[in-house]
Structure 1
Amino acid sequence: MQNNINIIWNVLSAILEENFTFSNIKQIVGLSGFDRTILSNMEQRQGSGGSSKGQLINEIDKYINDFTPENKKHFINLLTEEILKRNSNLKTQIHEYLEKLGWQLIGNNIIPIEIFDLAELQELDENSHQDLLKAVVRFRDGDLSGAMTSICSSIDSLTNDIYNRFSLGNPNTASFQERCNKSIQALNVLEQMETELTELGWEASEITHFKKNIKDSLNKLALVTQKLRSGMGDVHGTKPVLKSLVFDSFKFAQILIRMMTR
């Protein structure tokens, strides 16, 4: 992770040098948590004797390497916000640079693509976006139980909307599993799937068997997610958690949300 954070700094430092003035760079890093007094002897002057932007970045480099991993992550997050606050047009360029290195920019948050791909997020119902993004940020920052809670909240947000749209009753009195099952049923997900498979030329017997397996799988997936929520989800981050299962839960949520994105 430490090396990956260094890679992100390489991207952002290049963005700073290419797009901001000497004084702006000092101001931006200062507002991002860097001690500007360290740079007090560096000034840009007309003619000889002054420092270049490249030298300024190199000086910042020296001290950032001594940051703890947590402080470095915090600095990177604030730095990204400060850069985009001053020039939102840089978002595309930053995203393109990061994407080549296995990272991406979602909102103003830098997220590893391996956790969640922005392209996949855009295909899911927008009611789930805010909580999914919160889950990704928490996972990235090591808050695994908080991430698990937000993963499930992303599905809650969507099922709340479906319950309201189809007058399914009070979602708060239903279990997580029941909410998922009733929402999928209200959206006629399996019926639509049957129509699409028929158009592809599937036999009726094949479709019936397939629908049953899909229904059973989604029911079990909702139950597994419900169990993980009760066993590992905690906004205060106090429950013992298996990182691999939280990571897998992003995929579980994607499947359930995609089925309810209609």
Structure 2
Amino acid sequence: MGTVRLCDGRPAACAIRLRRSESPFGRAGIGGAADWAGSRAVSAWTVYPWRRRSFTACRVRRRAEVRALGQGRLWLALGAAVLIMGGVLATYTYITPLLTDRAGIPARAVPLVLIAFGIGALGGTAIGGRLGDHRPMVTTITASAATSLILLALIPASNSPVAAVILVFGMALAGFTVNPVVTSLAVRFAGDAPTLTSALTTSGYNTGITAGSLVAGRALDSSLGLTGPALVGAVFAALTLLPLIALALRGTTGPSRIIAHHTTDTAAEPETADASAATAR
């Protein structure tokens, strides 16, 4: 949908998704939408010749986005995004039974603990954004190691309600420090093709959440019991160090300024002016 909107500006798919009763094409429904889309394409190709250059620019941008995926450093950054989010959310997904059944925190007080987690996540994001510009690898490696140690400490210390709350806050603070730095590195490695990379980074976080929660659920049902998710989270966070150390060894220097593709054609301006004048007449 985004590519269609970028190339044409008014995607026919938006009209197709409407109910027939709400369709601006009346009783014609999807058929009318297809006719309308076809007429729009013809007019864009014949009446507005300068638009053909925008279609070409779209194809160029798509090729650049795909070429950016060949960066090995990009996949290391995406791997770190998957693992760190899998570690934090593996524990967070099943944090309620740990707090109520093991730490002895009343169920009505669990939302307050979750608020503490949210404050920690907000603080970690701010810290990562502040420190990541100057020392990205030191920040991410330190935060990942701290996350793993905090989750390991949560296993024996979760018997104490005070310690459990503090460690849940620390888990969010340390874990979410990695996210903005990893996202920034991924976009930097993509150079002048950041759109697909940004989407893949978000998908990487969601993949980590899914994988971490799945493994943590299995651990919860195993002999590890309530401490299983925390152990799984600690392992995921520790594994995050592998791609981060590899990145540190390879270096993070690369295109730091995102340059959007822009095609300039000296003949485009006269044609645009002539077409505008013809439309006015």
The TM-score, its normalising length taken from structure 2, stands at 0.27
More helix by proportion, 1 or 2? 2
The TM-score, its normalising length taken from structure 1, stands at 0.28
Which structure would you say has the larger Rg?
2
Ranked by relative contact order (alpha carbons within 8 Å, sequence separation 6 or more), the top structure is 2
